[in-house]
Amino acid sequence: MNPTTHSYKADGDIVSTNASQHWTRLESAIQNVSENELLEVDLRAANMVDSVGLNVIVKTIKTVDARKARVRLLIGSKSLKRICTFTRLDQKAEIVGP
């Protein structure tokens, strides 16, 4: 049986100037996630994530993990995928992308 999937779609880059807005929207999505479910975070519109944006992603993964659920990151940019690999996010969340 497939777990229930909840989703969040970023409308662009996640950087210091808009990270709090992304977190507010992600936090709302996270509230609907229960044990053994999946939160799919669509970052395909993001070409850039700075350190503050990366913190939002890490915080999302930790919060969902605390609910005993999983995160899938949809990546459209090779540079963002490298960041996820370099920071070892690929060990905490499923990474789908180029």
Rounded Cα gap, residues 29 and 23, in angstroms: 10
Quick one: pLDDT at residue 59?
A: 97
Instruction: Check pLDDT > 80 for residue 2.
Output: no
Rounded mean pLDDT of 52-63?
97
What residue ranges do the domains of the chain occupy? Answer: 5-96
Between strands 70-75 and 5-9, the pairing is: unpaired
Q: Which residues lie closer than 8 Å to 75 by C-beta, 6 or more apart?
A: 43, 44, 81, 84, 95, 96, 97, 98
Q: How confident is the model at residue 94 (pLDDT cuts 50, 70, 90)?
A: very high
Quick one: pLDDT at residue 1?
A: 54
Given the candidates 3.30.750.24, 3.30.70.100, 1.20.950.20, 3.40.190.10, the CATH classification of the domain at 5-96 is 3.30.750.24
Q: Across the beta sheet with 38-43, what order do the strands follow? A: 5-9, 38-43, 70-75, 94-96
Q: Does this model's pTM top 0.75?
A: yes
9-34 residue pLDDT tens: 999 999 999 999 999 999 999 999 99
